[in-house]
Amino acid sequence: MRSNVFAAAAFFSLGLTVSSQAADVSEQGAKDLRGVLTQYLSRDLADSGFITVKPSTNRYEVTYDLSKFFDKISSSNFSIAGLKPLTMFAAPMDKGLWSIDGDNSLDISAHSKMGDAPATDISYSLASLVYTGVFDPGISYLRSLDVTAKDIKMSSKSAAQTVEATIAGMTSKLSTTDTGKPGKIDFLTSGTMPGFYEKITAPTVLPVEVRADAIDFNAKATNVPIRELRELVRFVFEHVKAKTLSKSGGDKFKALIRDALPLFGSLEETASANNLSVVTDKGNFGLKKLDYSFHMNGVTKASSIGFGMKADGFKLDAGMIPAGYEALVPDTTVIEVGIPDMNFAAAMDILLEADFSKAEPLSKAQTDRIGDVVFPKGSVTVDFPKIAATSGVYDFEVSGSVTGYPKQKDRYSLQASILARDYDKTIEFVQNAAKTDAQLNQVSFVMMMAKGFAKVDADGRQRWDVSVADDGTFTVNGQVIKAPK
C-alpha cells in the first residue's frame, strides 16, 4: 500500500516540475497547473474533468476524480465502484520547492475477469490516509514524504480462494538524497504496519489465519536516474490505451528505456514480522521474529539477485512434533541464496529489438534467445552464503554454491563447506532416539562415519569441505569418495 502512495505523489509531481516558479497562488496559476498536470493524458481524459485545480488561500487544491479515469477503461471484464474524488494540496515554497499534503479515505470494490482465470471480486478500504511532503523540481521528485494510514481492510474473492486482510494502520517515511552524480539520486523508505491479520480460505482446504503484532520494512535504491524514469513514465501515460506504436513512437520508447538504463545502481529491501502466528486445522505455530531481505543490482552485464530469511523463536502446539523429538525444533534458522552473473543487459538488447508496431513485438526466435543470453556460459550458478539451523541438540551451517546446466539435466557441480558445533551432542541425541526407533541406528552409523572424515576448526567446530565435479567426482576434505564417471 505504501507504494501506491508514492506512485500517487509521483503522478502529481510530473506537472510540478514545469510550474514550480509560480510563487503567487492565483486563478491563472491554477489554470497553468492544471494544464501541465493534464498534458500527458489523452485528450478525452484531460477534457473529462479527471483533474481540477483551484486556488485556496496560499495553496492550490488539486482534485482527482478517479471515477472519470476508470470510466475510460471499464468493461464487462473490469469494473470498479465506490470511487470518490481525492484531494491533494500544493503550495509553492522558497527556492522553487513545493509543499504537498493530503487527507483522504477510500472504500472501493472492483470486479475483474482476465482470460480463463476465475472472476475475482476485490475490496479495499482505509479510514484515513494522511501525508505531507516536499517536492523538488531540481530532481523532478520528492525530497520527503511522511504517510500515516489507519484501519486498512482488503479482500479478494474468487471461486478458487478468498483472502481477507486487515492492518491497524501504517506509518512510513520516504527521503531522497543526492549522489554526487548528475541526475542520480538515492531513495530511502522505512515504516511499520501494526496489527496485521490475514485469513485464507478455499473450497478444498480449511482456513489458514496469519497474524503479526507488526511488520516493519526498509528499502533503499541507489543511483536512480530520476529524470529519465520520469520521462519514461510520462510516455507510458501518453500511450496507455495504444495497442501498438508507430515506428517513430516505438523508436522513442526504446530511446527512453536506453536512457534510463541500468534503472538503478542497487536495490535493497528488508522486512520483519514480529510475533508471527499461523493458525491451521493441524495446529498452531509461530515465530518470535521473521526477517526477510532482498537485494539486486541494476540491469547490467553482471546482474545479481539475492534473498535472505531468518526465523527466530519457533513455537508449536503440543502434539505437532512426536514425543521425544521436540528438541529438533530449531531455535533459529537462516537461509541466504543468490544468483550472480546474469547478463540482463544482453536480454534488454534483445527486448529493444522489438517492433512495437506489431501486436506481438518479439518473434519466437528472439524470445528463445533471451534465456540463452542471460546465462551466456550455458550454466546457472546458485550461491548459498549461509544456510544454518540451531537448537539445543544441533548447530549446523552450510555455505557454498551449486552450478547446473539447463540443457544438460544430469550435469552439475557443487562446492560446499559444512560446519557443526557440538556434533557429539547431536550424535548422542540420535543414539538415544534409536533406542525406541530402530531405523535411526542407520542414521547414527552414517553420522559416526562422517565424523571420521571431519576436520576440526580453531573454534572447535567439525568441518567437511565437500566437492562434486561435473564429471561425478565426489570428495570430502580432499579424500575421493566417488571416482569420476
Residue-wise pLDDT for 307-362, tens only, equals 999 999 999 988 888 888 899 999 999 999 999 999 999 999 999 999 999 888 99
pLDDT of residue 74: 67
Pair 143, 134: CB distance under 8 Å: yes
| Residue 361 to residues 240, 356, 371, 379, 424, Cα–Cα distance (Å) | 16, 5, 17, 28, 62
pLDDT, tens digit (0-9, with 9 covering 90-100), for 181-205: 888 999 999 999 999 999 999 988 8
pLDDT of residue 320: 85
What does pLDDT average to over the chain?
Answer: 89
Q: What would the grid cell of residue 405 be?
A: 546446466
Residue 18 reports pLDDT greater than 70: no
Residue 238 reports pLDDT greater than 50: yes
d(CA 142, CA 226): 10
Q: H helices of 295-336, where?
A: none
Q: What would the grid cell of residue 38 be?
A: 493534464
- Report residue 35's pLDDT band, with 50, 70 and 90 as the boundaries: confident
Pair 99, 93: CB distance under 8 Å: yes
Pair 405, 379: CB distance under 8 Å: yes
Burial class (CB in 10 A: 0-12, 13-18, 19+), 60: buried
Residue 87 reports pLDDT greater than 90: yes
pLDDT of residue 73: 66
pLDDT, tens digit (0-9, with 9 covering 90-100), for 94-120: 887 889 999 999 999 998 887 777 899
Q: CA nearest 125: which of 90, 152, 155?
A: 152
Strand duo 205-225 + 141-158: pairing: unpaired
Return phi, psi of residue 452, to 5°. -65, -25
pLDDT of residue 281: 86
Residue 23 reports pLDDT greater than 80: no
Average pLDDT estimate for 77-92:
89
Q: What is the dihedral of CA 387, 391, 394, 398, to 10 degrees?
A: 10
Q: In this structure, how many other beta carbons lie within 10 angstroms of the beta carbon of residue 76?
A: 7
pLDDT of residue 40: 63
Residue 14 reports pLDDT greater than 70: no
Q: What would the grid cell of residue 477 be?
A: 576434505
pLDDT of residue 134: 92
Q: What is the DSSP-derived secondary structure letter of residue 36? A: H
In the three-class reduction of DSSP (H, G, I as helix; E, B as strand; rest coil), residue 229 is classed as helix
Pair 308, 333: CB distance under 8 Å: no
**Please, how many CA atoms are within 13 Å of residue 76, restricted to the half-sphere of its CB?**
1
Top pLDDT among 236 and 169 is at 169
pLDDT of residue 48: 84
pLDDT, tens digit (0-9, with 9 covering 90-100), for 391-450: 999 999 999 999 999 888 889 999 999 999 999 999 999 999 999 989 899 999 999 999
d(CA 357, CA 244): 5
Amino acid in the structure at residue 267 = L
* Burial per residue of 426-448, b for 16 or more beta-carbon CB atoms within 10 angstroms, e otherwise: bbebbeebbeeeeebeeebeebe
d(CA 449, CA 451): 5
pLDDT over 70, % of the chain: 93
Q: CA nearest 423: which of 365, 478, 463?
A: 463
pLDDT, tens digit (0-9, with 9 covering 90-100), for 282-291: 889 999 999 9
Residue 16 reports pLDDT greater than 80: no
Average pLDDT estimate for 475-485:
88
Average pLDDT estimate for 39-60:
82
pLDDT of residue 127: 96
pLDDT of residue 12: 47
